[in-house]
Amino acid sequence: MPATIRDVAAEAGVSVATVSRVASGGDYPIGAETKAKVLAAIEKLNYRPNGIAKGLTQRNSRLVGVIAPDMSNPYYPEVTRGIEDVAGAKGYQVLSCSTDRDPARASATIDALLAKRVAALAVIGGGDEVVLPDRDLDALGTEVVMIGRATRRFSTVRVENVQAGHEVGRHLIALGHRRIGYVAGHPGSTASDERLRGFRRALKEAGVEHRPEHVERGGYTEAGGYDATRRLMHAAAPPSAIFAASDRMAIGALAALRDMQLRVPDDVALVGFDDIPMAEYLRPALTTVSVSAHRLGTEAMRLLLDGSGRPARPQHLRVRTRMVIRESCGARRN
């Protein structure tokens, strides 16, 4: 465990307040000998002050930190906009940051936000790269809400992913498909895994086998969706339909199918997830699952304002989805 301010105080034989005054670099009068002992203890224990101690008395309660994996994905800015709309109406400012799904960058981002003494943190995304420090959050009384990630520790706002995946599966089966590929997100994504679970349940209910080779990961990017689709279509029994866990991956899938001289939906049906603005303007227009990303953000911010972001009484909200039938699945050809 990293050294705490109390460890430094014990090593130097001084009070926690004295260590805080030395570490903060303020102009409080401290004897040269005492200061030298504190600095020696800091160096020996490799103590890294990060602004948390000052936050106990100086926390800026009008700042909300937002942490997302990738702000280039249209989904995450829309969630953030929902947070901003509710926060702004209550006099809060939002600081948004992107981790690029890098644990080291996520850790540094959390340290920076806590050093700014944010009143609350909203963590968007179902990945596991963001690890929140118990001790610092408890010391500051920071409210936390997770958007899209399963946890019992904090309040959550999540999509009804299992139900949505089940609906997509039933839809494609009703269109006559029995070999259906799935383009999953990155490893550790609870949202992608839940969509796959609901999808597989629909196939099982219909007596349709879902083979392991019909699942490929696309990492929630267009390039990933492109490569995953090419792998799916080179299987011994290639799918006649593909369900992508995000619209960005579905866009990559559409490009891959065209490059392989396959027509959508005549040769391969395609369904995405999220209903990003571009989905309607693709050709063929993308059948997808509509998620109100903005509502996820507004509900999350309301939980924070209600005080439901404290670990003592977490709340768990689910936001429903709806399928938007367009051209890419083939249901509108008749």
Q: Is residue 333 part of a domain?
A: no
Do 75 and 32 sit in the same domain of this protein? no
Tell me what pLDDT residue 134 has.
Answer: 63
Domain count, the chain: 3
Do 83 and 186 sit in the same domain of this protein? no
Supply the mean pLDDT for the chain: 87
Do 137 and 180 sit in the same domain of this protein? no
The residues, ordered by sequence, that sit 6+ positions from 69 with a Cβ below 8 Å of its Cβ are 76, 98, 99, 100, 101, 124, 125, 127, 129
Tell me what pLDDT residue 123 has.
Answer: 93
pLDDT digits (tens, 9 = 90+) for 232-271: 999 999 999 999 999 999 999 999 999 999 999 999 999 9
Do 213 and 155 sit in the same domain of this protein? no
Do 108 and 29 sit in the same domain of this protein? no
The total number of residues written for the chain in this structure: 334
CA distance 159 to 5: 40
Do 168 and 254 sit in the same domain of this protein? yes
CA distance 304 to 102: 26
Task: Give the count of alpha carbons within 13 A of 106, CB side only.
Answer: 21
Q: Is residue 330 part of a domain?
A: no
Do 194 and 275 sit in the same domain of this protein? yes
CA distance 318 to 282: 29
State the CATH number of the domain containing residue 34: 1.10.260.40
Q: What is the model's pTM?
A: 0.76
Three state DSSP letters for the chain: CCCCHHHHHHHHCCCHHHHHHHHHCCCCCCCHHHHHHHHHHHHHHCCCCCCHHHHHHHCCCCEEEEEECCCCCCHHHHHHHHHHHHHHHCCCEEEEEECCCCHHHHHHHHHHHHHCCCCEEEEECCCCCCCCCHHHHHHHCCEEEEECCCCCCCEEEEECHHHHHHHHHHHHHHCCCCCEEEEECCCCCHHHHHHHHHHHHHHHHCCCCCCHHHEEECCCCHHHHHHHHHHHHCCCCCCCEEEECCHHHHHHHHHHHHHCCCCCCCCCEEECCECCHHHHHCCCCCEEEECCHHHHHHHHHHHHHCCCCCCCCCCEEEECCEEECCCCCCCCCC
Tell me what pLDDT residue 102 has.
Answer: 86
Q: Is residue 31 part of a domain?
A: yes
Do 149 and 298 sit in the same domain of this protein? yes
State the CATH number of the domain containing residue 244: 3.40.50.2300
Q: Is residue 334 part of a domain?
A: no
In the chain, % of residues over pLDDT 90: 57
Tell me what pLDDT residue 323 has.
Answer: 97
Do 315 and 268 sit in the same domain of this protein? no
pLDDT digits (tens, 9 = 90+) for 139-181: 556 889 999 988 888 899 999 999 999 999 999 999 999 999 9
Q: Is residue 332 part of a domain?
A: no
CA distance 39 to 14: 12
pLDDT digits (tens, 9 = 90+) for 66-79: 999 888 888 899 99
Do 139 and 82 sit in the same domain of this protein? yes
Identify the residue with better confidence: 160 or 111: 160
Tell me what pLDDT residue 14 has.
Answer: 87
CA distance 78 to 219: 20
Which domain does 34 fall in, by range? 5-49
89 alpha-carbon distance from chain centroid:
24
CB atoms within 10 A of CB 133: 16
- List, in sequence order, every residue forming a beta bridge with 145; answer none if it has no partner: 122, 155
222 alpha-carbon distance from chain centroid:
18
Tell me what pLDDT residue 24 has.
Answer: 63
* Closest CA relative to residue 121, chosen from 139, 96, 90, 104: 96
Q: Is residue 327 part of a domain?
A: no
Q: Is residue 329 part of a domain?
A: no
Q: Is residue 82 part of a domain?
A: yes
Do 213 and 150 sit in the same domain of this protein? no
Do 228 and 251 sit in the same domain of this protein? yes
